Amino acid sequence: MLGADWLNIGSLVFGLIAWALPVVILAQGNKAKARNRVAFCAAASLSACAIALWMQILYTDHLVKIEDWSALMDTSSAVALVAGLLLTVAIALNAITFIVYRGKQLKD
């Protein structure tokens, strides 16, 4: 299994990817190529979010296996809060992207 440090770093990286993909699509503006990539980027963004959350679950499982109860008690509230924030922002960014490009599609 991956080292516990890599699980946290990987989770952070995938979480940032989950947020960055819809922002990149929105930043492309009216480009026709961006319209073709909206669904793909949404799927990739939500997949990256799922991978980030899965890595946090693996990290929690690692702490249980090594019986590091103090680490679990110290971090569980923060992990739950940040996981909810990651998921909420990723869904909101993807919804905004779909709404923006749906509006552009209707105008064309």
Q: Write down the pLDDT at residue 12.
A: 97
| Eight-state DSSP code of residue 3 | -
Q: Write down the pLDDT at residue 32.
A: 64
- How many beta carbons lie within 10 A of that of residue 62, not counting itself? 16
Q: Write down the pLDDT at residue 44.
A: 97
Helix (H) or strand (E) holding 25: helix 4-27
Burial class (CB in 10 A: 0-12, 13-18, 19+), 29: exposed
How large is the average pLDDT for residues 27-48? Answer: 84
User: Contact 41/25 with Cβ under 8 angstroms?
Assistant: yes
Domain with 48, as residue range(s), is 4-107
pLDDT at 60 over 70: yes
- The count of C-alpha atoms lying within 13 angstroms of the C-alpha of 60, restricted to the half-sphere facing its C-beta, is 16
Total domain count, the chain: 1
